[in-house]
Structure 1
Amino acid sequence: MNAFPFGNRMISDQLIRAENRPSGFDYLRLFLSIGVLLTHSIDICYGWHASLVIWLWRGPLHPMFYFIVPSFFALSGFLVAGSLERNTIPAFLTLRFIRIFPALCVEVLISALFLGTLLTSLSLRDYFSHPEFWRYLGNIVGWVHFDLPGVFENRSPPNRVNGSLWTVPFELDCYIAIAALGIAGLAKRPILFTSAAIVAMLALSAKGAFTSFFILGGNHPGGVLILSFLFGAAIYLVRKTLPFSLPLFVLSFTLSLVFFYFAATFYLATPFVAYSTAYIGLLNPRRMLLVRGADYSYGIYLYGYPFQQAAFQLLPGGTFWLLNIVYAVLSSGAAAYLSWTFVEKRVLERRAAALLRVAKSMEWLRLFFTACANALGRGIR
């Protein structure tokens, strides 16, 4: 008889079996990024107030669509927790920076300098001098603006270039939150870390039950994303005591859909989203060429929305959601390949040098503050 009701194999056992590189996470990232394109294609082609879009976000299948972005965050939390465990806080933040910033910077510049200049109805002089153009560049540092002047101006909403960027500030919040928890020592206390996430979930759920805190109509509350991230990290931290179990996955996935069905229980879905995501990611099917040594999901996510908008405006059949998503998968997939090959991969190849510089800088700071403290001590005496 099993010591655990859901089996004896732990998540840590499954990680060891996959040599800490399970392919399920690679496939899941691609699946989720294409799922984002699917939801955006319907919004872009028919507008927020169309009956199909209302059905998508409020009909009987809406929990499936609400699952997608929190699952992305839970996946990130699980993988990032391993990085936090292996590295110092400065090294951890450096690794997050070089993974996120370069590709985001290039995408924002391409949208503003290439796509915008080709499609704007304004003169180039008016375009480059317009405040919206300069605000759009703020996306590079997480100051999110979706619009460029004169671009897609007949769409609803007008001038919307990249709606996918709405998640960027929450992703930054996640890294800040987990770094703060790491500084507080909670990353080395898995039970305490998980308890803190549960308390935050219950507090936000209580608040949501008595206020109109939840946002419906296609957007997740930011707290749902952050909690999904934290529970993903928590599952990694308790991996030695948490079963890797198909029945537990089925139960978690079912509960996540049930809780996403009702606005008042959104936050309660987050630990179950995280477990469902971790279970799928820990599966280890044979890698196809598409996921062998590369991660195209980030590029697909970044480039999908602007390319879908362009396909709607420029390409035959681009106003039909199914063709729109085909165009988006092909174009953003090509952009993701170029982004990975010439930007992301090349930056990641230099991460060892970046970490060495950070370590040296932290040592200099330590010596500087030690010298200041010693000087201050002598002054007091």
Structure 2
Amino acid sequence: MSRLWHGRPFPYRANSLNLTRLVLASAVLVAHAWYITGAGTGPGWKEENLGGWAVAGFFVVSGFLITRSRLSHGLGEYLVHRLARIMPAFVVCIVLTAVLFGPIAALYEQGTLDGYLGTGPTPLSYVWTNLDLHIDQYAIGQTLSTVPYPSTWNGSIWTLYYEFCCYLVVGLLATFALARRSMVPMVVAFVISVVAYAGIDTLQRYGANEDMALLARLLPFFLGGAIVHYVIDRHGIATLPGVLSLPVALVLIALGPIGTAQATAPLLAYGILWLSTVVPQPAIVARNDVSYGVYIYAWPVQQLVELLGPTAGQLWPSIVLSAVITAGLGTLSWLFVERPVMRRVKRRDAGPVPAVGPPATS
């Protein structure tokens, strides 16, 4: 029995987190298919749909991994890594939407590209307005006016702004020496975030805006993952807590009020991370993390499939066709944007290899 409680080092190089994130990104695609095909709101639980739960899973995993990154890098290097991971693929995606996907839709719906560049909201403003990750423009001209979920080119990427806000929270907390030695600052921040979300209606009456409300909703998941990093780093990951954490969290969420999910974020994180140590993943998935590309391209692909495809209005055929196309674009994003940028950043951090002695390390 004691072995079940005994923690082992987390296998950072031999886990299935790439597969975990790919499954979560695919769940978002599936969840959004109900909206995009006009089939309703889709499956949900405790006033949150499947896509919302998948995003929560993303945030707890990110909180764990990003905290490890922050504690092993200085603030400047950490921010460069985070920008390099999230921004290039995002920029390519919104530019591609404006210069390729939008014109395809315009030609199909209107039979011409006349006025495409000048009809507001313009494709240029779509790129420029959203360039800071805060998605303020979803439409491009009159495109996507004939689909069930009109005038929305990407309903997924709004979460990236709040994820980057979470990066900043962890980055700033870890500038304090105490946070590099102890989980106490992260625990305090987590408790504050959970209380803030529980009282968000009151806070909104006193001026909290939608950005604050959405950050309050997502930050506890991220900080829950951050706390679990400290636990696993010091005590390893153990079988019995891993087996129990997800069922306990789900029971608490089922019985508790809205906001209980945020409070159980460390349990959700521990359970997901434990699963990643026992569930295998294909070697090709281990080598290629296409989940981010799948996440950012799924919605525009689904809109185009609904507009152009033979599966329009058919839920599951639309999901299958969209998933195949999105997987292709996600793979291209990984191979030609994400991986090359990250390799360049890591080479820059490593610096030149000295003529004598061991290789330089970051």
With the length of structure 1 as denominator, give the TM-score of the two structures.
Answer: 0.79
Aligned with residue 31 of structure 1, among 11, 20, 23:
23
Q: CA deviation at 1:190?
A: 2.9
Change over 3 Å in CA distance of 1:183–1:131 after alignment to 2: farther
Contact conserved, 1:23 with 1:282, CA < 8 A, in 2?
Answer: yes
Q: CA deviation at 1:337?
A: 1.2
1:43 aligns with 2:35: yes
Structure 2: which 5+ residue stretches go unaligned?
Answer: 206-212, 352-362
Structure 1: which 5+ residue stretches go unaligned?
Answer: 214-219, 358-381
Equivalent position amino acid for 1:114 in 2: L
Counterpart in 1 of 2:87? 101
1:199 aligns with 2:194: no
Counterpart in 2 of 1:294? 288
Quote the RMSD (CA, aligned, Å): 2.7
Aligned with residue 8 of structure 1, among 6, 9, 27:
6
1:311 aligns with 2:311: no
Question: Partners in 2 of 1:211 and 1:178 — Cα distance?
Answer: 23
Partner SS, residue 310 of structure 2: coil
Equivalent position amino acid for 1:274 in 2: A
Aligned with residue 268 of structure 1, among 254, 263, 269:
263
Q: How do 1:154-173 and structure 2 match up within 5 A?
A: 154-173=146-165
Contact conserved, 2:194 with 2:216, CA < 8 A, in 1?
Answer: no
Counterpart in 2 of 1:226? 219
Aligned length: 336
Contact conserved, 1:209 with 1:264, CA < 8 A, in 2?
Answer: no
Change over 3 Å in CA distance of 1:84–1:211 after alignment to 2: closer
Deviations 1:229-270 (A, max 9, x none): 112122112224456334423432234334544424342232
Q: Higher Cα Rg: structure 1 or 2?
A: 1
Contact conserved, 1:14 with 1:244, CA < 8 A, in 2?
Answer: yes
Equivalent position amino acid for 1:139 in 2: N
Q: CA deviation at 1:63?
A: 7.1
Q: Which has the higher helix share?
A: 1
Change over 3 Å in CA distance of 1:289–1:281 after alignment to 2: closer
Change over 3 Å in CA distance of 1:292–1:39 after alignment to 2: same
1:325 aligns with 2:322: no
Contact conserved, 1:107 with 1:303, CA < 8 A, in 2?
Answer: yes
Q: CA deviation at 1:346?
A: 1.2
Question: Partners in 1 of 2:133 and 2:63 — Cα distance?
Answer: 19
Aligned with residue 139 of structure 2, among 137, 141, 147:
147
Counterpart in 2 of 1:188? 180
Return 132-141 or 337-346, whichever deviates more. 132-141
Equivalent position amino acid for 1:104 in 2: F
Contact conserved, 1:224 with 1:270, CA < 8 A, in 2?
Answer: no
Q: CA deviation at 1:68?
A: 1.1
Question: Partners in 2 of 1:38 and 1:304 — Cα distance?
Answer: 9
Return 117-126 or 270-279, whichever deviates more. 117-126
Contact conserved, 1:146 with 1:160, CA < 8 A, in 2?
Answer: yes
Question: Partners in 1 of 2:342 and 2:301 — Cα distance?
Answer: 26
Change over 3 Å in CA distance of 1:320–1:151 after alignment to 2: same
Deviations 1:1-52 (A, max 9, x none): 63x9x6112xxx232xx3x2133211101111111111011221125xx3xx
Contact conserved, 1:204 with 1:267, CA < 8 A, in 2?
Answer: no
Partner SS, residue 91 of structure 2: helix
Change over 3 Å in CA distance of 1:263–1:112 after alignment to 2: same
Q: CA deviation at 1:342?
A: 1.1
Q: CA deviation at 1:96?
A: 0.6
Deviations 1:273-310 (A, max 9, x none): 2222222233362x424313211101110111111111
Question: Partners in 2 of 1:201 and 1:271 — Cα distance?
Answer: 13
Deviations 1:102-146 (A, max 9, x none): 111111111111000111256645322234233321323212032
With the length of structure 2 as denominator, give the TM-score of the two structures.
Answer: 0.83
Counterpart in 1 of 2:77? 91
Question: Partners in 2 of 1:191 and 1:310 — Cα distance?
Answer: 46
Partner SS, residue 275 of structure 2: helix
Question: Partners in 1 of 2:299 and 2:170 — Cα distance?
Answer: 29
Aligned with residue 257 of structure 1, among 222, 246, 250:
250
Partner SS, residue 101 of structure 2: helix
1:136 aligns with 2:126: yes
Q: CA deviation at 1:159?
A: 0.9
Q: CA deviation at 1:326?
A: 0.6
Q: CA deviation at 1:348?
A: 1.4
1:68 aligns with 2:54: yes
Change over 3 Å in CA distance of 1:259–1:182 after alignment to 2: same
Contact conserved, 1:67 with 1:273, CA < 8 A, in 2?
Answer: no
Counterpart in 2 of 1:277? 272
Partner SS, residue 319 of structure 1: coil
Q: CA deviation at 1:341?
A: 1.1
